[in-house]
Homo-oligomer: A and B are copies of this chain.
């Protein structure tokens, strides 16, 4: 099967680096000749005027550009070309930047230490729905995910009923609604609530909810 060449656009302010990125987009690697831009604005206006069939499948995006931060243009990019896969190409390897880029919608994240071959492979991988990352980035991403999903050190010993009640508290129900939902009297829910407060070390429903959500008790 003769797959069509992948359309790649490049945004990179450094002249020499931009040219070498452009050079690595060769038909032998499955890539069409790339359009390259020195800044985000010109790329976006190019995108606005481009007919649908010329829009890129993969965007190689340097962040750290003068002017706009590079990350906030990702949402514009997503608007103009929803199908386009975005691969960040940058010198920044801090978790904050990486996290911002990914939550903005980037699929890949390469450090500029990557060699030409790696960049070309990343473009192919991205175009196939993958998420190419430099090893250091992969490490950060896994770290971030671990941080965000790890449960509390000691999940606090709640009785089943208390856990149930806590879940309903988090839904914002009143004592009466909770009583109905659990088919018990309002006095019972009240008792449970107070016991729950003691265990959680709080003095209000709001604080209990905050604790529950923050420590993933629900």
Q: Chain B residues near A144 (CB, 8 Å)? A: 145
**CB contact between A135 and one of B130, B141, B205, B210 (< 8 Å): that residue:** B130
Majority-rule SS of A interface residues: helix
What is the chain B residue whose CB lies nearest that of A170? B210
Question: How many angstroms between the C-alpha atoms of A16 and B131 in the bound complex?
Answer: 31
Known: A151-B103, A205-B206. A135 touches B145 (CB 8 A): no
Known: A148-B148, A148-B149. A210 touches B172 (CB 8 A): yes
Scan residues 118-164 of chain A and give those whose CB is less than 8 A from a CB of chain B. Answer: 125, 129-133, 135-136, 138-139, 141-142, 144-146, 148-151
Q: Is A65 interfacial (CB 8 A cutoff)? A: no
What is the chain B residue whose CB lies nearest that of A151? B103
Q: Is A42 interfacial (CB 8 A cutoff)? A: no
Q: Chain B residues near A204 (CB, 8 Å)? A: 172, 174, 205
- Please, what's the 1-or-0 string for A183-218, where 1 marks a CB less than 8 Å from any CB in chain B? 000000000000000000011111111110110000
Question: How many angstroms between the C-alpha atoms of A5 and B95 in the bound complex?
Answer: 31
**CB contact between A203 and one of B145, B150, B172, B205 (< 8 Å): that residue:** B172
Q: Chain B residues near A170 (CB, 8 Å)? A: 206, 210
Question: How many angstroms between the C-alpha atoms of A125 and B107 in the bound complex?
Answer: 22
Question: How many angstroms between the C-alpha atoms of A208 and B105 in the bound complex?
Answer: 28
Q: Are B213 and A210 in contact (CB under 8 A)?
A: yes
Q: Are A207 and B130 in contact (CB under 8 A)?
A: no
Question: How many angstroms between the C-alpha atoms of A133 and B208 in the bound complex?
Answer: 38
Q: Are B206 and A102 in contact (CB under 8 A)?
A: no
Closest CB-CB distance, A87 to chain B, in whole Å? 11
**CB contact between A145 and one of B102, B136, B209 (< 8 Å): that residue:** B102
What is the chain B residue whose CB lies nearest that of A143? B131
Cross-chain pairs A/B with CB under 8 angstroms, 19 sampled: A99-B145, A99-B149, A102-B146, A125-B135, A130-B135, A131-B135, A138-B138, A145-B145, A148-B148, A170-B206, A172-B202, A172-B206, A172-B207, A172-B210, A205-B206, A206-B208, A209-B213, A210-B213, A213-B213
